Structure 1
Amino acid sequence: MSVSETILRVAARGDGVTEGGRHVAFTAPGDTVSGDVITPGPHHQTPPCRHFPQCGGCQLQHLDEASYSDFVEQRVRDALHAQGLDAAIRPATISPPRSRRRATLHAERVGKRVILGFSESGSHALVDIAECHVLLPELFALVAPLRVMLANVLKAKGRTDIHLAAIDQGVDLLIGGPAHDTLAAAEALTEFAIKHRLARVSIDEGLGYETRWEPEPATITLGGVPVAVPPAAFLQATAHGEAALLTAVREAIGPARLTADLFAGLGTFALSLPGKVYAGEAARDAILALKSAASMAGRAVFAEHRDLFRRPLTTAELDRFEAVVLDPPRAGARDQIVNLAPARVPRIAYVSCNPSSFARDAKLLCEGGYRLDWVQPVGQFIWSTHVELAAAFSRPDNPQP
């Protein structure tokens, strides 16, 4: 007879873990497992979407609000403990359902029809989505008409990425794959854009994007400043999550008069910080857009096109600032952290989309004399295993003036 075990927690990849160390998919804390039979507990909810768990867009729709928040917080705590670190972990901020303002769907022609959706979990097969509980309604409303339009535009073979983003003027659409170069295809794109009042339509067949429709300049407002937004540019996943990260960053650096914003992107943080700001970013289109927007708005932002992996700011350069904000990609910012750890910068705000690489970098900072004051977990990708955070570091031997 099988022994009954209770699920105690949810591991980083989304499996429930019993007291005996067994990993069981699609279980929640408090569920009981006997052999292959799962008995739902108090934190196991009915998934809201018909495509779960087949669709790989979500992994944790079976968790209730409390257990999902616990999962997000525990991911951060576990990453820190793995590096021998401890800090105050604040309650997680979770973006609500139907708030995702950017997404990449996949399209594939099957006969005369087009399948459009997310990949299945652990597979290259596509789920042809008929509903979605994470996308903004205005993004999901385009899915069905996109299938019809793409049937006239896409070439017969291959998979195409479809990038959608909600920006100031409406929905920005980028088709990232082979399309027919015919008058009929061009007319279909234009008619679709007009009918659905799109902000912009672009195509990228591998040689860079080509904009086909843009009735007025496409922008995203950051810190009250409209910034020209390149197709498929990085934006925080939800407006809710962006606001949570901004609040944490501003608290972490305090009233700094001179701040370095590293991996600045389009200026999500640079345009919302007090005092004067140096912004460093390797993506040319993004940093030029930030530079132009800041200049037109009269903001005290010096924007530099600089690859911070190949040419990180030196310790001497960093010592000029009262605060540093950094928001690197998933791999973290090890090379930049090596120079930052011995610097005399009083305050650091570190934004991360990977608790593991963050914890690695945090250990280097703490070994250099910084103190990790607190961490704010942020769940912008609700029901996924993707966890973000903002953290505050200070140097006790060099307090902020």
Structure 2
Amino acid sequence: MSVTETEIIRVAARGDGVTADGRHAPFAAPGDMLADDGTLTPGPHHATPPCRHFPACGGCQLQHLDDATWGDFIVDRVASALAAQGLETEIRAPALSPPHTRRRATLHWEPAGRLGFTGEKSHAIVDLAECHVLAPELFALVAPLKRLLGRLRLKRRLDLHLTLADQGVDVLIIGALPEGLEAAEAVTDFAQRHALARVAFDEGYGAEVRWEPDAVTVTLGDVPVPLPPAAFLQATREGEAALVAAMQEAVAGAPTVADLFAGLGTFALTLPAKVYAAEGARDAILSLKAGAARAQRPVFTEHRDLYRRPLTTTELDRFAAVVLDPPRAGAREQAQALAESKVPVIGYVSCNPSSFARDAKMLVDGGYVLEWVQPVGQFRWSTHVELAARFTRADSQPR
């Protein structure tokens, strides 16, 4: 009996390869050939996964793709989300972060001694012996942290937030609070030996710092900003640079800008304008305020929940441009107010193409033109897609 083979033509949103007739094949790349019996013959875009933990580890889903195909996957995700809303525009070549550049990650530890990411579609922990996405400074702590946590004899599964700050690695351990002199000495010795920026524990009542010889900061633009434990930070420096460049281009020439969902100031501190920055997380907006004041930047900050109290059209119309970078859920209420405003230019940063496309549809229906989208792949070999975009009103000029 002859065997019929069908070519994989694209990669679906969850990472499966798909044929023209709709058959799905796990870990298949465009150009692979799928036989009737499910056998897969690798094609020219099928890469050899570099990590021994793939595909069990949930940290990566697409190590079987070469960079060109991973980039095509990112563009397709954006185009498909826009098409679902009846939209299309220029989609630029994606900015891809290289391996070993993730500067923040959440790992997990269990008393049996395993420490790593959880498995794909599983709560089981993959014990990391190597990692091709983490920055070397973060991965270098995996084995030492396992030894420390074992020595502390903690009895619960823990989450570990690792962030590369200006002063070194910032470690926040959630789920336990070590007690006693021996534990305190062990933590201090560990922090000193590995030149950590900070070590904190959170048993559920907020972070309790056990080691912080110098105030921990992260530099955004050229401004050192106080870094709260586990604060949101763009995953890679390369990804941050791509998003910042896109927003600088999007609102170029605007003398006044509203930065909504401003966080620590990734965009507010890099725009050559007078900036109003609104953020719902109190720790983040206080850090931005302190950093801007110390650097004497013209940034006015407000602690404001933009879901419960989005800026009104009257407030928005005071600005020559708006930048917004909402969480994955998007900014439905704020986008509706923007759609009814007279703001000439909007720069939108998103980590979810679907919620972005929903909000983009509201803006376009309100009279805006979606000029371009810049996709960004910060999460190496992941199905996670980020983007930046520019909207303009055809009858408006920056004020």
Which TM-score bucket, shorter chain as reference? Answer: over 0.9
Distance 1:80 1:220 in 2: 34
**Number of residue equivalences:** 397
For residue 87 of structure 2, give the secondary structure of its aligned residue in structure 1. coil
In the alignment, does 2:16 pair up with 1:15? yes
- 1:50 pairs with 2:49: no
Q: 1:89 is matched with which residue?
A: 91
TM-score by length of 2: 0.98
What is the rounded CA distance, in whole Å, between the counterparts of 1:128 and 1:334 in structure 2? Answer: 40
**1:299 and 2:297 matched:** yes
Following the alignment from structure 1 to structure 2, what is the Cα–Cα distance between the partners of residues 176 and 5? 48
Give the whole-Å Cα distance in 2 for the aligned partners of 1:381 and 1:317.
35
- Matched residues in 2 for 1:78 and 1:146: separation? 42
Counterpart of 2:387 in structure 1 is 389
| Distance (Å, rounded) in 2 between the aligned partners of 1:77 and 1:36 | 29
Query: Sequence identity of aligned pairs in percent?
Result: 65
The answer (yes or no) to whether the contact 1:68–1:383 under 8 Å persists in 2 is yes
Match of 2:237 among 212, 231, 239: 239
SS in structure 2 of the partner of residue 126 of structure 1? coil
> Are the counterparts in 1 of residues 177 and 202 from structure 2 also a CA contact under 8 Å?
no
- Aligned residue for 2:137? 138
**Amino acid corresponding to residue 41 of structure 2 in structure 1:** T
For the Cα contact (< 8 Å) 1:154–1:179, is it kept in 2?
no
Question: Contact between 1:60 and 1:383, CA under 8 Å: does it hold in 2?
Answer: yes
Could you tell me which residue of structure 1 aligns to residue 200 of structure 2?
202
CA distance in 2 between counterparts of 1:180 and 1:102 reads 24
Taking the aligned partners of 1:322 and 1:201, their CA distance within structure 2 comes to 42
How far does residue 293 in structure 1 lie from its aligned partner after superposition? 1.2
Asked if the contact 1:72–1:379 (Cα under 8 Å) also holds between the matched residues in 2, the reply is: yes
Tell me how far apart the structure 1 counterparts of residues 345 and 329 of structure 2 sit (CA, whole Å).
22
Q: Which residue of 2 aligns with 1:72?
A: 74
Q: How far apart are the structure 2 equivalents of 1:61 and 1:154?
A: 36
Q: How does 1:327-366 map to 2 (within 5 A)?
A: 327-366=325-364
Give yes or no for the alignment of 1:185 onto 2:183. yes
Structure 2 residues without counterparts, runs of 5 or longer: none
The alpha-carbon deviation at position 154 of structure 1 amounts to: 4.8
Pick closer, same or farther for the CA change 1:285–1:154 going to 2, 3 Å.
farther
| C-alpha distance in structure 2 between counterparts of 1:159 and 1:188, whole Å | 19
CA distance in 1, matches of 2:30, 2:207: 46
Shift, 1:180, TM fit: 2.9
| Contact 1:104/1:161 (8 A) holds in 2 | yes
- Deviations 1:12-55, CA, capped at 9 Å, x for gaps: 11111011101111000000111221000000010000000000
Q: Distance in 2 between matches of 1:49 and 1:208?
A: 35
Q: Provide closer, same or farther for how the CA distance between residues 82 and 48 of structure 1 changes in structure 2, counting only shifts above 3 A.
A: same
TM-superposition CA deviations, 1:205-249 (whole Å, max 9, x none): 111000000000000011211100000000000000000000000
Q: Secondary structure at the match of 2:111?
A: strand
Q: How many Å separate the matches in 2 of 1:360 and 1:201?
A: 40
Structure 1 pair 345/154, CA: closer, same or farther in 2 (3 Å)?
farther
Whether the 8 Å contact between 1:263 and 1:328 is mirrored in structure 2 is yes
Residues 111-160 of structure 1: per-residue CA shift (max 9 Å, x gap)? xxx1100111011111001000000001101101111001122522x310
Query: Is residue 346–residue 395 contact of structure 1 (8 Å, CA) maintained in 2?
Result: yes
For residues 83 and 152 of structure 2, the distance between their equivalents in structure 1, rounded to whole angstroms, comes to 51
1:166 matches 2:164: yes
- TM-aligned CA deviation for residue 186 of structure 1: 1.2
What is the letter of the counterpart of residue 149 of structure 2? L
Consecutive aligned runs of 4 or more in structure 1 exceeding 2 Å deviation: none
Q: 1:161 touches 1:177 (CA, 8 Å); kept in 2?
A: yes
Contact 1:172 1:199 in 2 (8 A): yes
Q: Are 2:106 and 1:100 equivalent residues in the alignment? A: no
Structure 2 match to 1:6: 7
Deviations 1:154-189 (A, max 9, x none): 522x31001101010000000011243122111111
User: Which residue in 2 is equivalent to 1:311?
Assistant: 309
Question: What does residue 126 of structure 2 align with?
Answer: 127
1:355 CA displacement: 0.3
Q: Matched residues in 2 for 1:154 and 1:20: separation? A: 54
Does the 8 Å contact 1:154/1:178 carry over to 2? no
CA contact (8 A) 2:253 2:398 kept: no
Deviations along 1:49-69, whole A, 9 cap, x unmatched? 000000000000000011011
Deviations 1:323-358 (A, max 9, x none): 000000000000111111011111100000000000
Partner secondary structure for residue 93 of structure 2: coil
